[in-house]
A and B are shown apart, each in its own frame.
Chain A
């Protein structure tokens, strides 16, 4: 894609701000997405596509106006600017002057390291498939999927930022189904995903991914129904971070916390979690799935400590919410593509490591649930009420991990759950995930060490 020029951006901003308005921004994107998957032991699907366009946003008072064009000519961009200018009432004070400067040097790898052709992607998928099928005769379905993305963006705004960046994302995910002698079924899922190239797959390897997924499924074949009721719950390192992300992280996003008055509104400096909890969002961690050098508004990535030793210390913001509420811009403005306006999103969100060994948490728990892998869930971000399914869980009896159980759903309120974390281990892990908000999906990482919640309501089907 032809990169946006400073001259075109300057003309577009002057057009967009001619009737007033405080801020204008252009987001140009060219992206190639590829995907290869297998089913029944053979490659069954290979797809590739191109997304290419320029989005424009104009802020005027408390309102913003958004549009995009897939015609990349100067005329089309200027027409878009004129249309957005026409959406708000003219007659106010003249808009602020545009201050477009030259672009920063492009960031990101010029050529992604070890980038395969689609046949190479198919090789990785077949390797994963083969390892899984050889793992155990009870593995009856294997569905590996390899995806990658190369995204080139140009972000220019009337405040003078001009960022040119390349982002890459690579993911290999395998889902397996195990079938027991009685026809019962169980699944296992494992993923390797990152933002630095195919090294993320090479590090763990298709064999490890396949075996991990198969082990989950085989284990859960023997699971029995989960007993219901309130009990201590130990959330295993890594995917247990879904709870902190969903139940707490969304409530700390500035648009929800400050505009919608979530349970975390106006509580900076208050104890909202136990003293064992420090919650951080850090997009600058190299290579993680939720990492970036600049957010989709061109703000450089920096870590944000949201909860420090249980005390609420900050919110996630983007340019608009920071401006609206007089908060610092944390650099969390993200968007799916040029078709969408940026909204506040988490990046790599995690609970910092504690001091216990993971086995100490289990040994200290007489009876409870060990939630090894969380599934999906939902949360009301304003009230903090949440529910999550657990994909892989075990009972804890007499301070030891006991039998696997299926069908567990965790429910509660976020502040109550965070205040009930009474032990945090030292085994911080990260897991790649996908997060939906306002109709947009974002690549994120959830992370945590193993933690114990002293009491959560568990829904299950055992009597």
Chain B
């Protein structure tokens, strides 16, 4: 954070305190560069710095929230006034209190900000297309149809998040990140590669482009219909979508509001015994790692599912209080404009012993699923546990890839599907969601009913 913003945050806290019982200022400043190429030509370059503050107050025994990017004296007056107006309208929040300072130590999380990220230049970014082309040249088969990059989007950022409150919460940390999305085309078919890391030099282009090129190769040929009951193997991206589908039901917010079908399931099996999921905010390989959450609670790993048994929900301070427990350190704000919600950071699925290729062979015949469409919040109903999704993938039969499958639908109760888990891979893929990371291997489920086009 620039000294100016830090001083402003402190000044806002001081300005808000006389007219409020409690106040908290969350400040962030993030510099982001976005570049997109279309067919090798730079389409745009966007260099911006987002900075602003969110002000949470307790005034008249009620809770109010305001935010602003206008941080001059007039803007600060407006900010404080809006927070007090909001508190006055917040009739149901009587007795609300801000989180106290935690007695737990704040962990040191090394590697959140790659030193090289701070010195990234425009020239470094302009070299990306050549780097990608070089790797593609090395990994593609010269005899195969040429693979070309249609679109490429690189977003790199670095910044600082900071929190200070009248209850003694105080902290600040610096973070950097890069995500690279590449769309590959061959023979009219497309595939996408995602790479992420802490700096441009931290990207594993060979692995991520390799996965996308391999997908292009195995999806050649006419799509085949699918219908009936089959074993499906979810690739790491598809498995991440499935894991993401249960996240809305894992938050203390959903439990408190009666929106979680998993409420009341603590200590009970909700998945096959092979499924263990942790949330690990200290794992810097996950892009949402952090030393403390967005209301200052120190971070710590948390087991959510242990051999299929639900062991915990995610909580911020308010949902922890409402649930008769404590914050698990999962307060999340998408930016300073957002009140603290509840979200995971880095979900990590415990691996098995089979490589992905061994797992596919062991599951034969099976549908290897590259994409799981619609399984996140849009169609997974947190309150009912029902889901419906459309899968895209490739058949594995007779010891080899047997062509792409036409899109097929799967639907039912998500717990029923999770109980059909029979194999877990050993190779973790890292997938980004909007607000968290999922690190999961391939997952195989047997006896899954597919609905496709009938012939």
Contact = CB atoms under 8 A, between A and B. Distances in A.
A44 interface: yes
Contacts of A260: 38, 150-151
B129 to A, nearest CB: 13
B44 A46 contact: no
A50 to B, nearest CB: 4
Given A225-B411, A385-B407, A457-B409, A409 B68 contact: no
A62 interface: yes
A38 B377 CA distance: 21
A387 B374 contact: yes
B97 interface: no
Interface string A444-463: 00000000000001111101
B43 interface: yes
A67 B68 contact: no
B66 A49 contact: yes
A341 interface: yes
Contact of A406 (B88, B378, B386): B386
Interface stretch (B46-54, B196-204, B352-360, B418-426): B46-54
Nearest to A343: B44
Interface residues of B, number: 70
Interface string A308-340: 000000000000000000000000000000010
Contacts of B378: 375-378, 389
Interface string A16-55: 0000000000000000101010111111111111111100
Contacts of A141: 257-259
A62 B451 CA distance: 45
Interface string B60-71: 000111111111
A106 interface: no
Contacts of B85: 46, 48, 117-118
Given A45-B65, A47-B65, A141-B257, A460 B451 contact: yes
Interface stretch (A6-14, A180-188, A201-209, A290-298): A180-188
Contacts of A83: 47
Contact of A459 (B69, B384, B451): B451
Given A119-B88, A457-B453, A459-B451, A50 B82 contact: yes
A50 B257 contact: no
B337 interface: yes
A46 B374 contact: no
Contacts of B88: 118-119
Interface string B63-98: 111111111000100110011011111111100000
A341 B46 contact: yes
A53 B89 contact: no
Interface in A50-109: 50-53, 62-68, 70, 83, 87
B337 A46 contact: no
Contact of B45 (A66, A68, A118, A230): A66
Contact of B48 (A39, A40, A66, A126): A66
Contacts of A378: 373-374, 378
Contacts of A49: 54, 66-68, 82, 337
A190 B75 CA distance: 35
A461 B75 CA distance: 54
A220 B387 CA distance: 15
Given A46-B89, A63-B43, A225-B411, A459 B383 contact: no
22 contacts: A39-B257, A42-B91, A47-B65, A49-B82, A50-B78, A50-B82, A51-B69, A66-B46, A67-B48, A70-B51, A70-B52, A121-B89, A140-B258, A184-B384, A185-B384, A187-B381, A225-B411, A228-B451, A341-B44, A459-B408, A461-B388, A463-B449
Given A48-B85, A87-B47, 6 more contacts: A50-B82, A260-B38, A387-B374, A407-B412, A461-B412, A463-B449
Interface of B: 38, 41-48, 50-52, 54, 63-71, 75, 78-79, 82-83, 85-93, 122, 150-151, 190, 257-259, 261, 337, 339, 373-374, 377-379, 381, 383-384, 386-390, 407-412, 449, 451-454
Interface of A: 32, 34, 36, 38-53, 62-68, 70, 83, 87, 117-119, 121-122, 126, 140-141, 143, 177, 184-187, 225-226, 228-230, 259-260, 339, 341, 375-378, 380, 382-383, 385, 387-389, 406-409, 411, 457-461, 463
